[in-house]
Amino acid sequence: MGDKVLSGIKTRAMILLSLILAFGFGSVACRLFYLHIIQGEELSERAVDQQLSDTTVSAKRGSIFDRNGNTLASSASVWKVILAPAYFENDSQREYVSEGLATILGMSSDDILELAKKNDSYYQTVKRRIESDERDKILNFVDEVSKKYERLASVIVLEEDYKRYYPYDDFAASVIGFTGSDGQGLSGIEYEYDSYLTGTPGRIVTENDGWGTTMPFEYQQKEDAQDGNSLVLTIDETIQHFLEKYLKQGIIDYEVAEGAVAVCMDVQTGEILGMAVENSFDLNNPYEIADESAQKELEKLGGTQKEERTNELLAKQWRNKAISDTYYPGSVYKVITASAALEENAANLNSTYFCSGSLVPYEGEKEIRCHNTLGHGSQNFTEALCNSCNPAFMMIGKSLGSEKYWEYFQSFGFNSRTGIDLPGEATGLFFTSDGSMGPIDLAIGSFGQGITVTPIEMVTAMSTIANGGYSVRPYIVKQILDADGNVVETTEPVIKRQVISQTTADTMAQILEKNATEGTAKNGYVAGYRVAGKTGTSEKIGQSRVEGQTDYIASYCGFAPADDPQIAVLVYFDTPTGDAYYGSQVAAPVFASIMSEICPYLGIEAQYTEEELEYVDTVAGTYLSMDIEEALVQAQEDGFEPYICGEGSKVLAQVPQAGSKIPRGGQIVFYTTSDSTNETVSVPDLVGYTVAQVNEIAAEYNINVSFSGSVDLDTVYSYAQSVDPDEKVSPGTVVSVYFGNNDVDDTVM
């Protein structure tokens, strides 16, 4: 009995043990199945992560060039300083290296020492993007360290990195844009084409040992980075320079408070040859406030208030006003109303409009006045535009009708983005979202008030008239190049639609040319280059800086040559605060100065009238080392009036110098002794005179005058000169004098 019981107990125990063992092995098997099959891939990746460290190698960002190959942005080599603490044997070595690096890099030795104490690492970044001078000092220090401590030969490593450079500082800043600390594009072309410019980063894969320590550099594998693509812009550096030079001067001359814009566009292709936005900023220091008055404002602030204001000012200086700002176009928009009316047969060249000085647009509404409060009387269509007559254009707008007005507003591109390849483009605004208009809307809209446009929309619309009626898409990037300089992509011109007929476009070109020679736009005329253009002056309604004060936008938009248009230029000044604020007084002279340089630069042939030929500049010859008698004869044969300083027998110096521009019949001064070159004359005040009067005064003071401005020499007066009155100059010095008239375009509302 006892044996049976004992035997039963043993049997049950064996069964229980078998069950336990079976369960245990089953659990292990299940766990192994779970680890290998279910979590196998994840655990494998974790194991690799523990055994390998992966470091990104920067790719070289592509360069940005102008259309002629001039570098506007590039990435130059800089270096990353890497420390391998695992090589250190004691604190004495760590302190020696840390203090040496701190001295070279301008860092705290304690901060570097903290990195040096990470004994299990062969890769600690000490400093990024050091320049070549610091790099050379580091290499010399590495030699010192290796001589003092042989084991530390590889404790300091330099890795190549890249830093963005802009060789012209603030040149085309709003177009080019800038990059952030990690090399990513943050604005302008740098942002818009970031994916093309960035390239593909490389990798350094380093093996770790069983304790997680990074192995030395000889255990690394490197995958090279692929450099980014480069961009060739449509921008021409020389044209961009012209735009920026004259905008900056205009801001000074007319005390412009809110900056200025100038855009030059190829009317046939849509290529932007220049886009200047002033006041600008330094691309190499984009976070520095460029405006001195704004800097002084910030000095008075502190804490959160200063931080918030700084951010506002930075956003303002980075803003590309040419594409992001909207404004009331004023009288420049009359070219759109006129084009639409001609195209729709709502008006023709024989249509007449009577201006009494004001017009009540419809019964019950207040009268809207003309800038000529005495009225223009009876005028035909061409005269109405050349007079920039608001009442006449209210009549033209009424004959066109609200539906057609809205149709052409859209067709000319004012209700949608142009599609230019720059970030932040805004779009003009209409009175209503559905295009409906009330009578007063149509009245003021006909002369460019109540609607808003962007500068890029306006110059694109003017290009539509210039090229025969076709709306083209403006663009900035001409080509994309690979790292070897091969063209991988070319931007082709895009014609969106035909807006007006060739006939209408030709008629408008003729009217606008007349306007630039005889009308309110004559201050934008450039002798010999058949300019066509229109001025504009518009109120900044609800945007005045001082309550009760009216601020204005002064603009001029035109193209040349009128008979074979190639380029269109818009000049736009935001809030001139000086004595002058009309487009004809402020923007037109700057437009003329810009065109006077761009047209000959592009090889556009001048066609002078007989009257203009008397005042056209020529080039001074070379008379140095000639006997004085020979020089006198030669200068007279060249058409110049010689003037001798000194009693010598040979020409030792001359003014103007050989190759300088000088008026036909101008004076060449010959210096015949060394002391005679010290002779000077005072520059007279040449402002406020007719051409003939300026000539007389200049001759009296022995200086030359280069004439610039309106062709209508009998009615214009000088309004500026390139050298200040009373300044001492050499006899024969050429002083540029600018001519125009005091006619103004319309003051709206």
Q: What is the pLDDT of residues 448-467, one digit of tens each?
A: 999 999 999 999 999 999 99
| Model confidence at 6: pLDDT above 70 | no
Give CA 730 to chain center in angstroms: 38
Q: What is the pLDDT of residue 211?
A: 41
Q: Is 121 a catalytic residue?
A: no
| Model confidence at 294: pLDDT above 50 | yes
Backbone angles phi, psi at 491, to 5 degrees: -80, 125
Rounded distance, CA 510 to CA 382, Å? 9
Q: What is the pLDDT of residue 212?
A: 42
Q: What is the pLDDT of residues 697-744, one digit of tens each?
A: 888 888 888 877 665 555 677 877 888 899 998 888 888 887 776 666
Per mean pLDDT, which of 73-82, 143-152, 476-485, 533-542 is the most reliable? 476-485
Rounded distance, CA 395 to CA 234, Å? 41
Look over the chain and give the mean of its residue pLDDT values, rounded to a whole number.
Answer: 86
The answer to whether residues 478 and 72 touch, using CB atoms and an 8 Å cutoff, is no
> CA dist 232 to 168, 480, 589, 726, Å?
16, 6, 32, 47
Q: What is the pLDDT of residues 237-256, one digit of tens each?
A: 999 999 999 999 999 999 99
The answer to whether residues 177 and 186 touch, using CB atoms and an 8 Å cutoff, is yes
Percentage of the chain exceeding pLDDT 90? 54
Q: Which residues pair with 570 in a beta bridge?
A: 263, 557
Amino acid present at 156: I
Which listed residue (230, 280, 331, 584) is catalytic? 331
Rounded distance, CA 272 to CA 262, Å? 11
Fold of 324-607: Beta-lactamase (3.40.710)
> CA dist 285 to 79, 114, 281, 288, 504, Å?
20, 31, 8, 6, 49
The answer to whether residues 176 and 166 touch, using CB atoms and an 8 Å cutoff, is yes
Domain ranges for the chain: 54-231, 324-607, 615-740
Could you tell me the pLDDT band of residue 440, with boundaries at 50, 70 and 90? very high
The answer to whether residues 527 and 539 touch, using CB atoms and an 8 Å cutoff, is no
Residues 628-637: what's their mean pLDDT?
Answer: 91
Q: What is the pLDDT of residues 317-350, one digit of tens each?
A: 999 999 999 999 999 999 999 999 999 999 999 9
Could you tell me the pLDDT band of residue 354, with boundaries at 50, 70 and 90? very high
Report which secondary-structure segment, H or E, holds 83.
strand 71-83
Q: Pull the structure tokens for residue 579.
A: 């004595």
Q: What is the pLDDT of residue 27?
A: 54
Residues 108-135: what's their mean pLDDT?
Answer: 88
Q: Which CATH superfamily is domain 54-231 in?
A: Penicillin-binding protein 2a (Domain 2) (3.90.1310.10)
Residues 293-321: what's their mean pLDDT?
Answer: 90
Q: What is the pLDDT of residue 47?
A: 46
Q: Pull the structure tokens for residue 728.
A: 């001492």
Task: Dump the DSSP string for 332-368.
Answer: GGHHHHHHHHHHTTS--TT-EEEESSEE-SSTTSPPE
Residues 273-288: what's their mean pLDDT?
Answer: 93
